[in-house]
Amino acid sequence: MSATLARYQDIVGADVVSHLRQLAAPLAGMKVVHVNSTRTGGGVAEILHMLVPLKVELGLDARWEVITGDSLFYQCTKGFHNALQGTAVEITPAMIAAYEETNRKNAETLREVLQEADLVFIHDPQPAPLLGLCPTRRGKWVWRCHIDVSHPFRPVWKYLRRHVAAYDASIFSLASFAQPLPHPEYLIPPSIDPLTEKNMDLPEDEIRQVEERFGIDPERPMILQVSRFDRFKDPVGVIQAYRMAKRYIPRLQLVLAGGGASDDPEGEVVLAEVRAAAGDDPDAHVLLLPPDAHRTINALQRAADLVLQKSLREGFGLTVTEAMWKSKPVVGGNTGGIRLQVVNHHTGFLVNTPEGAAQRVRYLLSDRDRRVKMGEKAREFVRENFLLTRHLREYLTVMLAIVRGVDDRIEVA
Ligand code: UDP
């Protein structure tokens, strides 16, 4: 057995790993291609970094391709992202032209690989037109949507639906995100990898060093949000909540840690808004981190007394999973994938406003035992539901269903 799979056995048990091997056996040698639009930054890149190598380990011929574009392309796709999550956005004809042209250019280099593949997973709207640009494809194509598309801005969805409807299947993270489409739709929530630098155990002195590097006092309470600087993550709402809680807990410290994603052009503007909102408060730390700061984020999540993810829309929220795996209760926005993870009053609290977040922060910080108990529940909830072994099992099952046809039986010896 491969070294990595053997290591997962210690965390999830031998049966789980052996089940994965059985599911993967009939798919051995199959050509699988994943396509998205960034190799660093954001949840999709995080997932593909772990999922693709594991598929290879399980015997599949899996690879990951990334499309690239110019700034008008990313402006357009960020506009799509905002629109799919419910904001009324104007997408100009020039933006649509850049979107289609970028996909045409990327198709020139990817066409051979994509047309040869047995299964292609296209992640999110950015590369969605590739299907129409590969007319002699031989495999099945799946659109994997990571976004909260439960209440999309209709004109934009109407346009994107034309590209998406032609796929053989689609995958959403939650039932409430699924849209009427003329093909089978599957639900697979994402997951984290417990063995990566982002999630592995860290020595205490490394955690203390990271606190020291950023001027965080380990003797005082600290709350944290890790996110791209994106308005849907409501970083300014987090600062408001921190200010309200600080009136009652004067020693409170806030860390807002984030970086950009190469396919997200709005990060700088939002970062400026966040810095302005934080002002010159020495206890409000706004950290701009490089894309490979996984150990640093891990250390900050471990150093925090609790973690916030006060999103206004959230496809899933890997940052929530990461914090819960580190036994931290999460105060999360009552939306999308956060609802799947934060079981209100058990693994954390769901909140709708900065006031609500401040109240829950005060409540949790007032009682260490309560935090520890909730944190333990949070970790077990992730172990049961949101580790990559479950994610991989569901992917393999869907792959078998798509390749063989849903009417065929899946035999697991
Ligand atoms: N992340 C990171 N650096 C940052 C901000 C985020 O490595 O500066 C990671 C974070 O730890 C998580 C992922 O990016 O693994 C974000 O995924 P999530 O689902 O929370 O949000 P998305 O960015 O996909 O909307």
Q: With cut-offs at 50, 70 and 90, classify the pLDDT of residue 183.
A: very high
Are 193 and 276 a contacting pair, CB within 8 Å? Answer: no
Q: How confident is the model at residue 41, as a pLDDT?
A: 83
Q: Which of 238, 130, 168 is nearest to 402 (CA)?
A: 168
pLDDT for 244 beyond 90: yes
Q: How confident is the model at residue 6, as a pLDDT?
A: 83
Q: How far apart are CA 406 and CA 32, in angstroms?
A: 19
- Ligand 1 atom closest to the CA of 289, numbered from 1: 8
pLDDT for 165 beyond 80: yes
Q: With cut-offs at 50, 70 and 90, classify the pLDDT of residue 410.
A: low
**Alpha-helix residue ranges (DSSP H) falling in 135-222:** 154-164, 204-213
- Ligand 1 atom closest to the CA of 297, numbered from 1: 11
167-169-173 Cα angle (round to 5): 120
Are 206 and 180 a contacting pair, CB within 8 Å? Answer: no
- Ligand 1 atom closest to the CA of 320, numbered from 1: 20
Two domains, one topology: 3-191+387-404 and 204-385: yes
From the CA of 404, how far away is ligand 1's center (Å)?
A: 34
From the CA of 262, how far away is ligand 1's center (Å)?
A: 12
At 47-73, the pLDDT tens digits run 999 999 999 999 999 999 999 999 999
Residue 289 φ/ψ, nearest 5 degrees:
-105, 150
Task: From 230, 318, 321, give the residue whose CB has the most ligand 1 atoms within 8 Å, as the site to mutate.
Answer: 318
Residue 64 φ/ψ, nearest 5 degrees:
-125, 120
Q: How confident is the model at residue 312, as a pLDDT?
A: 97
Kindly report the CATH number that applies to the domain delimited by 3-191+387-404.
3.40.50.2000
Burial class (CB in 10 A: 0-12, 13-18, 19+), 48: buried
Q: With cut-offs at 50, 70 and 90, classify the pLDDT of residue 343.
A: very high
Q: How far apart are CA 78 and CA 73, in angstroms?
A: 9
pLDDT for 149 beyond 60: yes
pLDDT for 106 beyond 90: yes
Q: Where are the domains of the chain?
A: 3-191+387-404, 204-385
Are 21 and 9 a contacting pair, CB within 8 Å? Answer: no
From the CA atom positions of the chain, what is the Rg in Å? 21
Q: What percent of the chain has pLDDT over 70?
A: 97
Token pair in block for residue 151: 């209440």
pLDDT for 407 beyond 70: no
Q: Which of 295, 316, 262 is nearest to 39 (CA)?
A: 262
Least confident piece of the model among 154-158, 220-224, 297-301, 408-412? 408-412
At 254-280, the pLDDT tens digits run 999 998 777 788 889 999 999 999 999
From the CA of 394, how far away is ligand 1's center (Å)?
A: 22
Q: Which residue has the tokens 């982002």?
A: 198
Residue 255 φ/ψ, nearest 5 degrees:
-120, 125
Q: How confident is the model at residue 226, as a pLDDT?
A: 98
pTM, two decimals, is 0.92
Q: Which residues line ligand 1 (CB under 6 A)?
A: 42-43, 46, 198, 226-228, 258-259, 289, 297, 316-319, 322
From the CA of 320, how far away is ligand 1's center (Å)?
A: 10
Q: How confident is the model at residue 411, as a pLDDT?
A: 55
Domain at 204-385, CATH homologous superfamily: Glycogen Phosphorylase B; (3.40.50.2000)
Strands 284-288 and 253-258 come out as parallel
- Ligand 1 atom closest to the CA of 258, numbered from 1: 8
Q: How confident is the model at residue 259, as a pLDDT?
A: 85
At 119-129, the pLDDT tens digits run 999 999 999 99
At 204-219, the pLDDT tens digits run 999 999 999 999 999 9
CA-closest residue to ligand 1 atom 6? 227
From the CA of 297, how far away is ligand 1's center (Å)?
A: 10
Write the CB contacts of 30 (distance below 8 Å, at least 6 apart in sequence).
60, 61, 118, 119, 399, 403
Token pair in block for residue 275: 């810095």
pLDDT for 1 beyond 60: no
Token pair in block for residue 198: 């982002």
- When comparing pLDDT for 2 and 8, which is higher? 8
Mean pLDDT, residues 163-186: 96
Least confident piece of the model among 153-162, 225-234, 351-360, 403-412? 403-412
